[in-house]
Amino acid sequence: MNVTATSTARPAAAGPERQVFRPPLAARLLSLFGVVACGGVTLFIAATAVFVATDQWQLGLVLAPIALFIGALTAYVWRDLKGKWGLRVVLDGDAVTLDLPSGRSLIHRLPAQHLTLRYDDIAAIETRLEAYRSFGMAMMQRAYVLRRTNGDLIFLFEERALATDMATSMFTAIVNELATRAGVEVRDLGMVEGRGGVLGVWGTRSADWTAPSLSHERQARLWRRAALTGSIAGAVILIAILLRFLLGAL
């Protein structure tokens, strides 16, 4: 009698699933609304300035700089939209694909980058808090940077408006997942302070990535200032809404 031995091979262990990250649709649509709203106001004021300038040139001179200011603000919001709409991170089994638009930071002046990196080419993910003061106010954000094994740095993205009700936290999960797949740590470099310029919009400048962390006392003061700034901004928005409601009821 012939006996045939059979063996059942175990299936190969499945690798990590592919994961695709993009900023939430609500955040992208909010930026789109901001561009449309600011752009519409800019066009309206500019057209009004041109129309009235023939008869009331003084009024035209008053409206012209307002149109320029709102136009510059529109460009700022447009940059934010590009940063949110074009950002994409794809985690595969052995590599990550990064689609990083230039507008992914509103402070750092960055080129767009589109590249695929093997996980063994990643030495670490580094993060730090960045504070920016302007006119007695302060804003706080958290930047994330990928450090390659050859020492090159790739700025990934930033969380904004920390210490306020408008704080974002959309990148924490994808950063931790990337670090886990690459088998590296997320290094916290502490806090630095950059130049806030005008309202954190124009004339800003970030600290060098090698800058040392601030003292704990200085960090605590900047956290309090950022929280106070957020409270003031929220109060201004609430007052504007109440005034609009009261004026509409009259």
The pair of structure tokens assigned to 95 is 């590599």
Position 202 scores a pLDDT of: 82
Round to whole Å and give the CA distance between 107 and 195. Answer: 10
Position 165 scores a pLDDT of: 85
- Secondary structure E strands in the chain: 19-21, 88-91, 95-100, 113-118, 122-134, 137-148, 153-159, 186-195
19, amino acid identity: Q
- Over the chain (250 residues), what is each successive 10-residue block's mean pLDDT? 36 68 94 93 91 82 88 90 95 96 92 96 97 91 97 96 89 95 96 89 90 96 91 56 48
All residues at 6 or more sequence positions from 30 whose CB lies less than 8 Å from its CB, including other chains = none
Position 8 scores a pLDDT of: 37
Position 2 scores a pLDDT of: 39
Per domain, the residue ranges of the chain are 23-84, 122-237
